[in-house]
Amino acid sequence: MAHGALCFLCPGLWISGEEIAAQMGVSRAAVWKQVRALRASGYRIESSPRRGYRLLEADCLDPERIRSGLQTKFLGRELHYFREVESTNDVSRSLAESCPDGTVVLAEVQTRGRGRLARSWASPPGGIWMSVVLKPALPLSRAYRANMAVSLAVAKALSRLYQLRAEIKWPNDILIGGRKISGILMEVRAELDRLDYVIAGVGLNVNIDPSRFPAEWNATSISDQLGHDVSRTELVQEILREIEEAYLKLGSEEILEEWRSLSATTGRYVRISSLEGDFEGEAVSLGEDGSLCIKTENGLQRVLAGDCLHLRGREEA
Ligand code: BT5
């Protein structure tokens, strides 16, 4: 849903209902209805009978501020910012052919955020919904390296900035205390074995109350973990710095070892559903091709891609 009134709300500044109504060419009642809808989707909007409305998003993602404090050589130097998009991965795909390596697309809200396998990804205000276009000089068969680099970067940014112990659940979720704080969606375009580009979509719950999500998602957020909001601008900068650092050593053993060391999955009993079939067993190791090796009743089984549920004994964790 497009929120017209949002265009007239400026973080921290009051604007009267009359002024918004005049600009939009609608009644004040219609403005009030839109403000209610915006609040329902998670925007924090203060209202006062005398002063009007004010967006309480002290830390609105400001692309200029992000750029000016960016500590990267190229990653995020081309940055496209939107208040609202369907999906940053889709926007990235439309840019990918001609944009430079490391281009970033960032949005306050996604209306059709996507997970893997056509699942949806909730993307209300207060999160980081961002995609990075990467053009690594790698054959398609090694594209999984980009996935490792990005998951690693997000986990490291959370530990470095907030001392949160982030772990990577195979293949690409970031967990804190067993709860999902971030999901990564990698989309690849290649011709034969030549990799054209990878789009790495990062969804990270930052200043969001996870009780707004269904309990079965077992989701958490940074504000939930720390008990206070944090600067998303600073966090975007740190994640981009970490992604660039990992990207520059994409082929190295170091990436692989760090990625393995943050695994929440190895040593756990897991249930896998994949193209290779569905099975249960103990996750024993991570291959250098990003695969997960599981000890099942019928011997060792290796999976390259799939869904993984962590089990405690035979029960779901
Ligand atoms: C993922 O999929 O975890 C990948 C999510 C990637 C989202 C980013 S945001 C920027 C870029 N643009 C996009 O359109 N997508 C990317 P998957 O492993 O399939 O997990 C999806 C499942 O996670 C859903 O079925 C829910 O159970 C749960 N879920 C949905 N939204 C969530 C959220 N905000 N936090 C935690 N869990 C969520």
The pTM for the full model equals 0.87
State if residue 200 touches ligand 1 by the CB under 6 angstroms criterion.
no
* pLDDT beneath 70, residues of the chain: 1-3, 11, 41-42, 57-59, 313-317
Q: Strands 103-110, 79-85: parallel, antiparallel or unpaired by DSSP?
A: parallel
Q: Using CA atoms, how far apart are residues 280 and 301, in angstroms rounded to an integer? A: 10
State if residue 31 touches ligand 1 by the CB under 6 angstroms criterion.
no
Q: Ligand 1, residues 104, 106, 114, 121: which to mutate, most atoms within 8 A of Cβ?
A: 121
Domain of 10, in residue numbers: 3-55
Which residues, in sequence order, are CB contacts of 119 under 8 Å at separation 6+? none
Domain check: are 39 and 128 in the same one? no
Q: Is 6 left (phi over 0), alpha (psi -120 to 50) or beta?
A: alpha
Residue 141 structure tokens:
């068969």
State if residue 104 touches ligand 1 by the CB under 6 angstroms criterion.
no
State if residue 125 touches ligand 1 by the CB under 6 angstroms criterion.
no
Task: Give the position, in ligand 1's atom list, of the atom nearest the Cα of 115.
Answer: 2
Helices in the chain by DSSP H: which ranges?
17-24, 28-40, 63-68, 88-96, 144-162, 222-226, 232-248, 253-261
State if residue 89 touches ligand 1 by the CB under 6 angstroms criterion.
yes
State if residue 81 touches ligand 1 by the CB under 6 angstroms criterion.
no
Task: Give the position, in ligand 1's atom list, of the atom nearest the Cα of 203.
Answer: 9
Q: Of the candidates 169, 156, 149, 132, which has an alpha carbon nearest to the alpha carbon of residue 271?
A: 169
Among 17, 32, 55, the domain-final residue is 55
CATH number at residue 19: 1.10.10.10
Domain check: are 115 and 236 in the same one? yes
State if residue 219 touches ligand 1 by the CB under 6 angstroms criterion.
yes
Domain check: are 237 and 129 in the same one? yes
Q: Using the mean position of ligand 1's atoms as its centre, give its distance from the Cα of residue 122 in Å.
A: 7
Domain check: are 147 and 28 in the same one? no
Domain check: are 255 and 273 in the same one? no
Domain check: are 240 and 257 in the same one? yes
Q: Using the mean position of ligand 1's atoms as its centre, give its distance from the Cα of residue 145 in Å.
A: 20
State if residue 110 touches ligand 1 by the CB under 6 angstroms criterion.
yes
Domain check: are 81 and 153 in the same one? yes
The pLDDT value given to residue 241: 98
CATH number at residue 306: 2.30.30.100
Among 261, 279, 302, the domain-final residue is 261
Domain check: are 82 and 134 in the same one? yes
* Cβ atoms < 10 Å from Cβ of 129: 27
Domain check: are 165 and 280 in the same one? no
Q: Using CA atoms, how far apart are residues 73 and 103, in angstroms rounded to an integer? A: 12
Q: Using the mean position of ligand 1's atoms as its centre, give its distance from the Cα of residue 272 in Å.
A: 18
State if residue 119 touches ligand 1 by the CB under 6 angstroms criterion.
yes
Domain count, the chain: 3
State if residue 217 touches ligand 1 by the CB under 6 angstroms criterion.
yes
State if residue 224 touches ligand 1 by the CB under 6 angstroms criterion.
no
Domain check: are 33 and 175 in the same one? no
The pLDDT value given to residue 207: 92
Task: Give the position, in ligand 1's atom list, of the atom nearest the Cα of 110.
Answer: 14
